[in-house]
Structure 1
Amino acid sequence: MTNNAARGGLLLGLGAYAMWGVLPLYFRWLGGVPALEVLAHRVVWSLALLVIVVTAMRRWTTIRAAVTARTLAMLAASALLIGTNWLIYIWAVNNHQTLAASLGYFINPLVNVALGVAVLGERLRRWQGVAIGIASVGVLAMALGAADTLWISLMLALSFGLYGLVRKTVAIDSLGGLMIETLLLAPPSLIYLMLVAQDGGGAFGGDLMLNAKLVMLGGITAAPLLMFAAAARRLPYSSLALLQYLAPTLQFIVAVAVFGEALRSLHFLVFGLIWAGCALFAWDSVRAARARR
């Protein structure tokens, strides 16, 4: 791998995770559009953009060749998982629970390790086990002291972790998989938007500025996913593992500094334990990568 490729991968990865980290600001900028409607627009306008990208790259033949009955079934499952993840995340931001959402994405890398061990039969290194144990204490503390928001964190971590597991095992590349997932989510999204518009309560159509914001959801959704896919091809896994903590860190800062969500004593304990677990996990990933080299 050349230095230019690694540098390009680093910039793409930073860009993707930074966009995901400040995404709550965009959802708030939509001015209280219901979460399900935001999700539907996100799917529809992402599909429009992806059709343009796939056509420009002349990838339709490759994508069609990769689609089998098994692949389609697995992508239907991954589409359901990512749709659930997006819906819960948008709802959390709209309902002043961005802190709980950020906690979910801090837990996610540790969930990935646990799924790798339980489902894929991967070996757990000693310090990875310690990291998961420390983070688990934080989750337990959250369960005992703030059970009302724990479901948000766990659902986000589990849905995204399971999504990653499915996408890791399905035989199709990132762009093709995203295209098929979006195609599968588009029909119910379009039906929902038409029903909402028929009742005269939809957000789209009246305010030109709001219309533009909703249309831009396509680019805001697809761009970081495509940047992440490109970064993953250029960077070692250990480097990518370190970058993934950027998004929930930015979400945490946005929740406290911009949205004014209150930090309780329990939050300091829980986030302290989660951050300690994540830091230990990141250190072990770098150490293992260096040992392999």
Structure 2
Amino acid sequence: MKLNNEKDGVVYAVFSYVMWGLTPIYWKLTQHISSGEILAQRVFWSFIFMIVLLFYLKKRNVYVGFVKEIVKKPKLFWSLFLASVLISSNWGIFMWAVIEGKILEASLGQYINPLTSMLIGVIALKEKLSGSQVFAFILAGIGVLILTLHYGVIPWISLSLALTFGFYGLTKKMIKADSTIGLALETMVISPIALVYLIYLMFQSQIQFFDSLSTSLLLMGSGVVTVLPLLFFTMSAQKVTLSMLGILQYISPTLALIVGVFLYNETLTQAHFIAFIFIWSALAIYTFSSVTKRGKKREEHIKSKMRA
């Protein structure tokens, strides 16, 4: 039964990462809409979809309990607000990059995200790195440096995506809630700002939501596109080991890379190729090191239990 559960978990994880990897296709369909409105609509409809989902999953009471806790604890509210700003920024930067034909840079940001999170853990949480992990970080740094020299500027899209998501992960450590409750709370906190912006656009006669039925459906669907892969990911996280999830997570940026090059004809230059080789090598070393480290900890845990 455990094996079947793990197999189901892998299937859920693959579904979630494939969906995330193919989202550039969806955002390309919205390129006739201003990036600001897409982001505001995405936040608003994600919140609406999350509320419906919480009722379906029968987590309404848990959600209400967290809302009451937020009211009583200002520190928790500001942690949630910061998490909301970071994830909204991440969404906005990614969508803008896709619409502007910079999917390769966006996929690079997703690739280096685990390594950025590792660095944040060292600085903020005083986590220790193994020699191989330090080597992996140096390789990734060389990859980013190659692109910097190629473009003549720092690849800010890639780094911004990695940093916003890395710090988002850090703030999430302060909010002890599962993914569905957490996203509902985060979108709830930022939704009033999104709604005010949409009302402003309406009064300025600049809102595009009502331009056509297809535009309205695309913007409403942005909530589903945001939440559905997260739901599959949550289902997988309960059944699959973290090391397996760590390996599967590279499906998403790899698909985005393929979509950018083969579907939207973005140019994979020699500099891109060399940089990606360094970063892929870094990720291979990092993943192998993490899996080995977890395996050793598991063995030590089993041995200590047997001694007891």
Alignment of 1:110-149 (within 5 A): 110-148=115-153
Task: Report what 2:7 is aligned to.
Answer: 7
Q: What does residue 267 of structure 1 align with? A: 272
1:234 aligns with 2:233: no
Displacement of 1:180 after TM fit?
A: 0.9
Matches within 5 A, 1:22-171: 22-66=22-66, 67-68=69-70, 69=73, 70-148=75-153, 150-171=155-176
Distance 1:31 1:143, change over 3 A: closer
Q: Are the aligned partners of 2:22 and 2:256 in contact in 1 as well (CA < 8 Å)?
A: yes
Q: 54-63 vs 218-227, which deviates more?
A: 54-63
Cα shift readout 1:251-276 (whole Å, capped 9, x = no counterpart): 11111101111122211111111111
Q: What's the offset of the Cα at 1:177?
A: 1.2
State the aligned residue count: 293
The counterpart of 1:220, out of the listed 221, 225, 245, is 225
2: CA distance, partners of 1:82 / 1:20: 15
- Return the offset for 1:231: 1.5
Q: Distance in 2 between matches of 1:166 and 1:258?
A: 36
Whether 1:276 aligns to 2:281 is: yes
Contact 1:100 1:149 in 2 (8 A): no
Q: Residue type matched to 2:23 in 1?
A: L
1:112-170: CA deviation from partner (whole Å, max 9, x where unpaired): 11112222222212211111111011112222222446010100000001101111332
CA drift at 1:71: 2.0
Identity %: 34
Q: Distance in 2 between matches of 1:18 and 1:262?
A: 22
CA distance in 2, matches of 1:94, 1:253: 16
Q: Which amino acid aligns with 2:125?
A: L
CA contact (8 A) 2:31 2:99 kept: no
Q: In structure 1, what is the Cα distance between the partners aligned to 2:40 and 2:215? A: 15
Provide the rounded CA distance (Å) in 2 between the counterparts of 1:280 and 1:124.
13
Aligned letter for 1:40?
A
Question: Take 1:263 and 1:185, find their aligned partners in 2: how far apart are those partners?
Answer: 36
Which moved further from structure 2: 201-210 or 129-138? 201-210
Q: 1:107, CA displacement in angstroms?
A: 0.5
CA distance in 2, matches of 1:59, 1:103: 36
Q: Separation in 1 of the partners of 2:8 and 2:174? A: 27
SS in 1 for 2:125: coil
Query: 2: CA distance between counterparts of 1:147 and 1:193?
Result: 37
State the alpha-carbon separation in 2 of the partners of residues 163 and 230 from structure 1: 21
User: What secondary structure, in the 3-state scheme, does the structure 1 residue paired with 2:82 have?
Assistant: helix
232-241 or 164-173: which moved more? 164-173
Q: Distance in 2 between matches of 1:31 and 1:104?
A: 21
Deviation at 1:176, TM superposition (A): 1.5
- Larger Rg computed on CA atoms: 2
Distance 1:217 1:209 in 2: 12
For residues 119 and 233 of structure 1, what CA distance do their matches in structure 2 show?
A: 27
Q: 1:56 Cα shift?
A: 2.5
Is the CA contact 2:27–2:95 (under 8 Å) kept in the aligned structure 1?
Answer: yes
Once superposed, what is the RMSD of the aligned Cα atoms? Answer: 1.6
Deviation of 1:108 after TM superposition, in Å, equals: 0.2
Structure 2's unaligned 5+ residue stretches are 300-308
TM-score by length of 2: 0.90
Show the counterpart of 2:195: 190
